[in-house]
Amino acid sequence: MLLALTAVVTLAVVFLASLVLTNGADSGLAAWLATLGAGSAAALWRGRSRTGAARLVPFVPVILAAALTASVCVPTAPTARRYPPGLPFVATQHWRLDTGSRVAVYHYPPANPGTRHRIPLVYLNGGPVRGISVLDHRFLQLLARQGYDVYAYEQAGGGRSDLLPMDQYTISRSVRDLGAFIHHLGQGKADVLGFSSGAVVLTRALADPSVAAHLHRAVIAEPGPMDGPTARIGGHRGRPSARGLAPAMAGPRSTHVPRYAVAFGLMRLGLLTPDTGLIGQAEGDNAFTAADLGGDTASAYCARDAHRIPSEDTAQNFSFSPAASLRIQQTVQDAPSLAPRLRRSKTPAMLMIAECSSQVRQWETAVLADDPAIERAQYMPGVGHHLWNGLDDNNDRAAAVITAFLQAEPAPLPNYPTRDEIPAFLHDHK
């Protein structure tokens, strides 16, 4: 029995190694056939001196291993993209941008036309390739009630937006899409609120004169690394988050299915490329669930909120593309320093930093240090990475900070940290 178990484990390892070597070709079938062939050859060699039925005994581990690894090759989610159904409270439009991207667009006009602000506000959500959550939609509705003409779009491949070929998912494409979207609005310049990876897109747009020309004011909320050198910076995060403290997220997990556990796991380890032949982009999008994010969601909240994390989304609306997101993150990590171009930015900007941020502080302070047009920083107490989370008065506080800046009014919070205060801010592990 021990020898048989060893043989099964060995063949499973051979299968995984073959998956990596073939990049999951033909839905893993190439690796499966190679493993079956190697196992059969070994079984024939072991049974060469046996007679009768005894010659078949070495094939038992091969059959078991073949059955086990075959589960990685069989799709259990649809292989054609199934887009989320429409939302009941806002119409979904689809715009074809000049870049070729076809994106899902949501428009929240000012609730009171008498208080309408003349500059449209565009929201860039995080992800990088993820649908806009219901929690975010509620925050956008709050901004519309305060007189803003709010537009939001799900970046190519996310939510209800059309997929792109995998090699077209780049941070540069995301920046060009932003410029094309504002141009498509046809209202001149726009204010832009970028959150998390959306803040990275916005930061890079500020350093691109052709896109920055379309920007009126920019709100950079909780940015990730803006380039390769920043991504490689080590450092600390904000105050403790709810990661590891919050109850496990309920609901089905694709990572409990062997096929997707192997595929997503090897992709995350960098052993399979985002365009792996093991699972297609559409299948991966269909399979991935909110519960698969696990501790990532909890890390967006302060430790004190661990047992009251709100439901950010519905199962029907949730959408996340792990492969496309990984591909864009890789292009950020491969990008040269943005600092020389960002230092020439002239677009008025504001940086928002959460007290319990799960982002490395140096990712955020690098933007503050290198963008001379950042007029104020707002350190948001009592919230985690998801600044507007529907708890207490957090949405109202975030909206107050954003609207004050967009209207060039006095900030509701101290301008902190300033550029000169960055060393002390990092030293104090704020």
pLDDT, tens digit, 9 for 90 and up, residues 137-177: 999 999 999 999 999 999 999 999 999 999 999 999 999 99
The reported pLDDT for the residue numbered 56 is 66
47-51, 298-302, 313-317: range with lowest mean pLDDT: 47-51
pLDDT, tens digit, 9 for 90 and up, residues 191-226: 999 999 999 999 999 999 999 999 999 999 999 999
Confidence of residue 54 (pLDDT cuts 50, 70, 90): low
pLDDT, tens digit, 9 for 90 and up, residues 382-392: 999 999 999 99
Domains of the chain in sequence order: 2-70 (no CATH), 93-252+293-427 (3.40.50.1820)
Buried b (16+ CB within 10 A) or exposed e, 128-161: bbbbbbbbbbebbebbbebbbbbbbbbbbbbbbb
Q: How far apart are CA 99 and CA 109, in angstroms?
A: 26
Confidence of residue 51 (pLDDT cuts 50, 70, 90): low
Tokens describing residue 222: 């909780």
Report the C-alpha dihedral over residues 205, 206, 208, 213, rounded to 10 degrees. Answer: 100
The reported pLDDT for the residue numbered 52 is 64
CB-based burial label for 80 (10 Å; 0-12, 13-18, 19+): exposed
pLDDT, tens digit, 9 for 90 and up, residues 11-35: 999 999 999 999 999 999 999 999 9
Closest CA to 167 of 181, 155, 157, 180: 157
| Mean pLDDT value across the chain | 94
The reported pLDDT for the residue numbered 3 is 73
The reported pLDDT for the residue numbered 57 is 67
Higher pLDDT, 54 or 227: 227
> What pTM, to 2 d.p., does this model score?
0.94
The reported pLDDT for the residue numbered 295 is 82
Tokens describing residue 132: 């806009």
The reported pLDDT for the residue numbered 141 is 97
The reported pLDDT for the residue numbered 157 is 97
Tokens describing residue 286: 């269909």
Closest CA to 12 of 258, 256, 253, 254: 258
Q: How far apart are CA 92 and CA 105, in angstroms?
A: 6
Q: Is the dihedral angle over the CA atoms 396, 402, 403, 409 positive or is it negative?
A: positive
Residues in the chain: 430
CA 371 to chain centroid, in Å, comes to 24
pLDDT, tens digit, 9 for 90 and up, residues 238-269: 999 999 999 988 889 998 999 999 999 999 99
Specify whether the CB–CB gap between 251 and 315 falls below 8 A.
yes
Q: Work out the angle at residue 364's Cα, subtended by the Cα atoms of residues 360 and 367, and round it to the nearest 5 degrees.
A: 145
CA distances from residue 193 to 15, 85, 414 in whole angstroms, order as listed: 46, 26, 20
The reported pLDDT for the residue numbered 251 is 87
The proportion of the chain whose per-residue pLDDT surpasses 90, expressed as a percent, equals 84
Tokens describing residue 55: 């010659």
Q: How far apart are CA 267 and CA 283, in angstroms?
A: 14
The reported pLDDT for the residue numbered 273 is 95
pLDDT, tens digit, 9 for 90 and up, residues 341-387: 999 999 999 999 999 999 999 999 999 999 999 999 999 999 999 99
Q: How far apart are CA 380 and CA 84, in angstroms?
A: 33
pLDDT, tens digit, 9 for 90 and up, residues 57-95: 677 888 898 999 999 999 999 999 999 999 999 999 999
pLDDT, tens digit, 9 for 90 and up, residues 102-125: 999 999 999 877 778 899 999 999
Q: Spell out where 280-373 has E strands.
A: 349-356
